[in-house]
Amino acid sequence: MGSAAIVLLAVWMALDASQTQIGATPATNAAEEAGEAAGEPKGGAGVSPIELIPRLELRQSFDQLGGGTSLHDTTAEIDIQFLDRVLLRYEGALRVLSTPTGQVSGLADIRIQAIGIPASGPRYVVAAIAGAVLDTASQPALGAGKQQVFFGAGAAVKPLRWWLPYAVVEEQLSVGGDSARPDVNQLTADLGSILFGRGYAWIKIDLTPVADFQGDTVRLFGMLEVGRLLIGRVGLFMRANTQLAGPRQADYGLEVGIRYLFHLGLGP
């Protein structure tokens, strides 16, 4: 499964409902968080894998694509806050492509993304997404060979303190590049839920249908992520994904990552 369908929604909202309860006191909040490790941030900051907080992230992923082909990526991501409600995201990866005929390694395409929050409240958020995939792969086999743009929108609600369902829709198009390579024109929907637990832990479940208009196919992917904020601003997460329906493109994928949050706190 491509990373384009994963973690595209940014939430600028408090993740601990006690922060929005009228009349809540510090003593009440402390009692509710009893049993959690001392020194952990309060208010749920940094718990959500989709929260809009500047961060540095490093991921190792392995994807078995079928036919004896696999991808091994080492991805670095940095999120920089720009203005109060905009986040700029930069992603670059070192890729190893293994096929029955040999192995190719080098830099993959660079991805740049902007995430803005035009509207939000204590229990809802609306996000706007725009970005580009640059044709920067060091070898043709390691990238799409196309300059691409993408844009979309997402929304999330928080009906319960421990549950955050959300949806993201994104269109991705190629606008230039190698004319001999296939064009890109696909619509992706990410339907997910995050379940929060004690100890600043979370479970994230995603269903991601992808409509490839260029190839006239529709595929459905599924992903499960578990994670926890470990010490201070450092969090660890693991993901597993597979293709659930449609013409076979991927068998399974595994990913583990660590992130460092530049600051902890709630948005306005």
pLDDT digits (tens, 9 = 90+) for 15-67: 333 333 333 333 333 333 333 333 333 434 444 444 567 889 999 999 999 88
* pLDDT-based confidence at residue 1 (cuts at 50, 70, 90): very low
Neighbours of 208 (CB within 10 A): 24
Cα separation, 268 vs 259, whole angstroms: 23
Query: What pLDDT score does 15 carry?
Result: 34
Max intra-chain CA distance, the chain: 66
Nearest alpha carbon to residue 133 among 96, 176, 97, 169: 176
Average pLDDT over residues 238-262: 95
Which residue matches tokens 């509207």?
119
- pLDDT, residue 124, reads 85
Q: What is the pLDDT of residue 52?
A: 67
Neighbouring CB atoms inside 10 A of 241's CB total: 24
**Of 8, 30, 10, 6, nearest to 19 (Cα)?**
30
- pLDDT, residue 216, reads 94
CB contact set of 118 (below 8 Å; sequence gap of 6+): 85, 126, 127, 128
> What is residue 264's predicted lDDT score, i.e. its pLDDT?
59
Using only C-alpha atoms, the chain has a radius of gyration, in whole angstroms, of 19
How high is the pLDDT of residue 120?
82
Looking at residue 73, its pLDDT comes to: 97
Q: For the chain, which domains are there?
A: 3-21+38-261 (2.40.160.40)
Length, in residues, of the chain: 268
User: Residue range 173-187: average pLDDT?
Assistant: 95
* Residues 227/237, Cβ–Cβ less than 8 Å: yes
In this structure, what token pair is assigned to residue 264? 């902890």
Summary mean pLDDT of the chain: 81
